[in-house]
Amino acid sequence: MINKFRPDVMESLDVVWSGASIAIGGFGSSGRPDALLNALCDLDRRDLHVIVNNVGHDFTGVGRLVMEGRVRRVTASFPILQEFYDAYFAGKIELELIPQGTLAERLRAGGSGIAAFFTPSGAGTMLADGSFPLSYRDHEVATRLSAKETREINGRPHVLEQGIIADFGFAKAQKADPKGNLRFHLSARNFNPVAAMSGRTTFAEVEQLVEAGDIGPDDVHLAGVFVDHVVMTAAPEPANLSGTMEKSVL
């Protein structure tokens, strides 16, 4: 019997430990699972490794985690928050910078059981040759990203990138059913499916919970097999859950 809906966000996230790695969906504030991320702050989780397209520009979600000093490492493509760079150059946080398409594929690969792949993105740059600063100490480079294996394929250099498997995946969707099948809204889909896929345990924050079967097969953007827990962005109206909470579905 399957019913992945969890009525209490804080209680559900209590399994997330300090020091965990978390793959997070969203692009800026679009599709960002803020309820889950703010709950982590309220639970006082620290020393986190967040894997996300970009660190936001406001005091919520990933930005709040960073500004409260809860993150030890960011794996991202666009960390634009000034407070992040202040912490980075002060030696308080590490940065693994990755081309955007490569990040998406590393998350998808990890969730698909693909250990690694070759890509031309980043070849011949400091992201692949071992010169990019991973961390600073007293505003001086302390450590650098490891050099990546490079191979010429069809006359073009490619670098070897590892699939990402995170301890947890956080996603935000428009709709979910009790089995965890998800439907996203337009561009808010962005990194959410691949972030969810890459997590060993995945939480989906949703705006609407519907009955099993109410999301048509062609409208399922991510299958429930990748989702372990479904929580609401806010307290749901009773009408949205009529029948759902009274029964379990196969």
pLDDT digits (tens, 9 = 90+) for 84-137: 999 999 999 999 999 999 999 999 999 999 999 999 999 999 999 999 999 999
Confidence at residue 1, expressed as pLDDT on a 0 to 100 scale: 59
The single-letter code of the amino acid at 91 is G
Confidence at residue 208, expressed as pLDDT on a 0 to 100 scale: 95
pLDDT digit string, tens, across residues 198-210? 999 999 999 999 9
Cα 245 off chain centre by: 28
Residue 125: count other Cβ atoms within 10 Å of its Cβ: 12
pLDDT < 50: residue spans in the chain: 235-250
Q: Residue written as tokens 């000093």?
A: 69
CATH architecture of the domain with range 9-115+163-235? 3-Layer(aba) Sandwich (3.40)
> Residue ranges of the domains in the chain?
9-115+163-235
For residues 164 and 30, give the distance between their C-alpha atoms in angstroms, rounded to a whole number: 22
For residues 77 and 95, give the distance between their C-alpha atoms in angstroms, rounded to a whole number: 10
* pTM of full prediction above 0.85: yes
